[in-house]
Amino acid sequence: MMRLLILGANSDIALAAARKFAQGAKMDLILASRGVERLEKKARDLELRFNVQAQTVFFDALDHSSHRAFYDSLEPKPDAVLLAFGYGGHQKRAQAEFEEVQRIVETNYLGAVSILEIIATDFEARGRGAIMAISSVAGERGRKANYAYGASKAALTAFLSGLRNRLFGSGVRVVTILPGFVKTKMTEGMDLPGPLAAEPDKVGGDIFKAYRGSRDVIYTPFIWRPIMTAIKALPELLFKRLSI
């Protein structure tokens, strides 16, 4: 039986993806997060709906020194991992308080690097596995609205690119997932552009399709690929004047 480890499994996108993997590939699930109590209920729901095994494990992305013991405790080891944790942060606060920037970077970048290096080494040694990580289109170009978050995701995207390059030929895949605006707890209360805001189910489905397919980098929903191509192509001379 194939096993999927989901880091940050309490997020809306993570749970949507969990349903797709359980339904579509009958994969057993290891759900890891800080909020284990809520996760227990979600695990039970997944087991009943899809007739798979779903276990829960405590995991704290910010507690980097605990990551090795966390991964060592997993037995048997997962065949695939989906990194779904992230901290959106508050841009205004990040400009005033360095601690906010630290928390953003320590979660989205350092937390991801810390656990993924451990997993990558194990997968590499076993000669197989899939590493999927949720970065963001916000990391494609820094904007005034969320550049603290965007910079941490840019670092993550670059890291994943390097990791993929390193693991090429080892039998281990690395998939970078770049969602646009998604209607989740993180974005609740934000003024999302209606037609562009996706449901978590859509993103979860796209992640599963990426797992089944062969792409290295996916935008989800797909419309973000042309949008970001255009945004990245704007000359800085123009871009710096815009409010987008």
CA 26/CA 96 separation, integer angstroms: 47
CB of 144 to another protein, least distance (A): 27
Which is closer to another protein, CB of 106 or CB of 199? 199
Which is closer to another protein, CB of 46 or CB of 94? 46
Sign of torsion over alpha carbons 185, 221, 164, 157: negative
Token pair recorded at residue 137: 């289109």
CB of 31 to another protein, least distance (A): 14
Residue 1 CB neighbours (<10 A): 9
Which is closer to another protein, CB of 144 or CB of 185? 185
71 is catalytic: no
Token pair recorded at residue 43: 């695990």
> In this structure, what DSSP letter does residue 199 have?
P
Q: Which residues contribute to the site for another protein (CB under 8 A)?
A: 23, 38, 41-42, 44-45, 48-51, 195
Catalytic residue among 71, 149, 211, 219: 149
CB of 45 to another protein, least distance (A): 4
Q: What is the four-CA torsion angle of 203, 209, 210, 213, rounded to 10 degrees?
A: -170
Which is closer to another protein, CB of 23 or CB of 161? 23
Contacts of residue 9, Cβ cutoff 8 Å, sequence gap at least 6 = 15, 18, 29, 31, 32, 33, 39, 42, 56, 84
Catalytic residues: 149
